Structure 1
Amino acid sequence: MPNNIVFNNVADQLKTKIYGDDSGTTRAIALDASGKILIGSLDTINTINYIATVDTVNNVSSVDLVDTVATVNEVTNVSSVDLVDTVATVNYVADVQKITDTVDVKIVSNDFTESSSVVVLGADASTTVLSIDTSEKNMYSYYIASSGAATVNIQISPTTADSYFINDATSAVMTANSTVVLVPEKFLKYTRLYLQAGSGGATASVYFNAHN
């Protein structure tokens, strides 16, 4: 019997095909273009010790326990979560419909908003500045530094129309070269500052600061 070479003697041409049993039918294992094994569906998995990366999971009917997940980039929809022990950081949640038990949430930072304006007023002149939609602000205030005597009021309104603005209970009578911080007592959607200069006129630097 001749001594023939059974395998290809060129190393990078040595290839084999892997088959599996499908209820008595032998089938070749399918791969995608990058060589990853294609898995159509799995009925039940008792234990998975380690998975490095999963690109996409289309549907999972039930998961009993997940020990540690380093990063989840996106979860489109979760119908129910019975228990979450610890979540280190959640960057964004679009909507939570119901929380049935108490939960401790630590807010690590708030978005900060600021605006400013310099107002020059002649004798007994008045104006309004920094009209802002404060409907989604958690905390906000106006800082005023005036070179001359002036009266300042916070005004609030449900619309942007001038005729709807009314004085809040917060106001101050300022002397020349003084500063004051005003925080509104009542809430409406829009907030602005009203300034009335004294007989000597005034130049006022006004700042609006807010936590979102």
Structure 2
Amino acid sequence: MISALDKNIQKLGDGKIILLDSGDTIFKMDSFRDNPIVKPQDLRLVWKEDNIPKIGAVFNAGAEIFQDKVILLPRCHQGYRKGTFFDERLRIERSYLENYISEVWPLVSDDGIHFTRFRDEVIRGDGTDHQDFSYGIEDLRVIKYGRKYLLVGCGKIKPPFKGKNADRIAIYSTENFINISYHGLVESFDSRNAIPFSEPINGR
């Protein structure tokens, strides 16, 4: 019997090959017609400011198949507000979001479309669990490595929008997405888009 997840995978479409101006080609995956599959309201990322309803944000999730279910690891924001500051380098006033500190909330789904919180687990980046960074954990990617899963994301060492040289590679691991261990930062350079390759490619 085919699972709900496999049925939905068949509906995703094949994507298309796109020719770039450079002459190179890339593969562009079709978007799911019912996106977004997770909305802030689904996770109660809502609050009131001066009695005005506000809606938070949930996006940039890593994903993995785990025990025949889909685990999603999106960054989640709530309780922030819009502000302005003067950018000394550009000599202009710019907008930013104050208290825009992200957490990662693991979600789980049987069919890859309908998600709920996974045991109310939270990966925090606000200085609660360690002092390596305290302005949020963003954009976790999931890499299967033997019996474990590496979770590699961006640890913010300065407030979002305001600081240069603010992003560091943050590394976690888990076997079950419940007990999640933090291993530290790659501190020597500014980076938010890193992913290790756990197996050789073309023998290298």
Q: TM-score, normalised by structure 1?
A: 0.21
Pick 1 or 2: higher relative contact order, CA cutoff 8 A, min separation 6: 1
Greater share of strand residues, 1 or 2? 2
